[in-house]
Amino acid sequence: VRARRTRLRNRVATPFSSRQRTLALASPLLTGHFVCWIGAFSFTDLPSAVLLLVLQPLFASVLGAQVFRERVTRGIAMSLLVAGVGLALIVYDDLRFSVNHLIGDALVALGAVFIISFLSVGKNLRPRLSFSSWMTLAYGGAGNGRFYW
């Protein structure tokens, strides 16, 4: 009787495959990125938004090290430092500290969290799909999600 219950339990299929569940999670994350990124321009200017957006590799390195236990090498750390300093020098004159700019900067930072989460969720699925399938499903789902946001 116990063996029969185990066989029956093993035969019960989940309604969605792991690929479908991953895409169902990834597409809204990408939608969130686009909504935050585009919405930020109502509050902040382009240089501030670009500075925060281009710092995504820094955020991704921290996430990778903390969540996925990926190793951040000295070369990666130095590259991130040089890129961050260079970007800060480029946009220094355009940085403003007003309430509207801080709201816009927060939206850009939230957009960065969304895109990093999207890339992290999709990193195992992307190699298993063709490029056209990934683009159609992930970005098409994000585009459809934009209508509901």
What is the per-residue pLDDT for 4? 55
C-alpha to C-alpha distance for 93 and 130, rounded to whole angstroms: 43
Task: Quick: pLDDT tens for 116-143.
Answer: 888 888 887 888 888 888 888 888 888 8
Q: In terms of Cα–Cα distance, which of 116, 100, 94 is closest to 48?
A: 94
C-alpha to C-alpha distance for 147 and 83, rounded to whole angstroms: 35
User: Cβ(8)–Cβ(87) under 8 Å?
Assistant: no
DSSP state of 12: P
What is the per-residue pLDDT for 27? 86
User: Cβ(53)–Cβ(111) under 8 Å?
Assistant: yes
What is the per-residue pLDDT for 32? 92
Per cent of the chain over pLDDT 70 is 81
Q: Which two tokens stand for residue 34?
A: 């686009």
**Span 34-57, mean pLDDT?**
82
C-alpha to C-alpha distance for 103 and 34, rounded to whole angstroms: 16
What is the per-residue pLDDT for 16? 58
pTM above threshold 0.75: no
What is the per-residue pLDDT for 5? 55
In single-letter form, the type of residue at position 47 comes to P
Task: Quick: pLDDT tens for 50-103.
Answer: 777 777 788 788 888 888 788 888 998 898 888 878 777 766 666 667 788 888
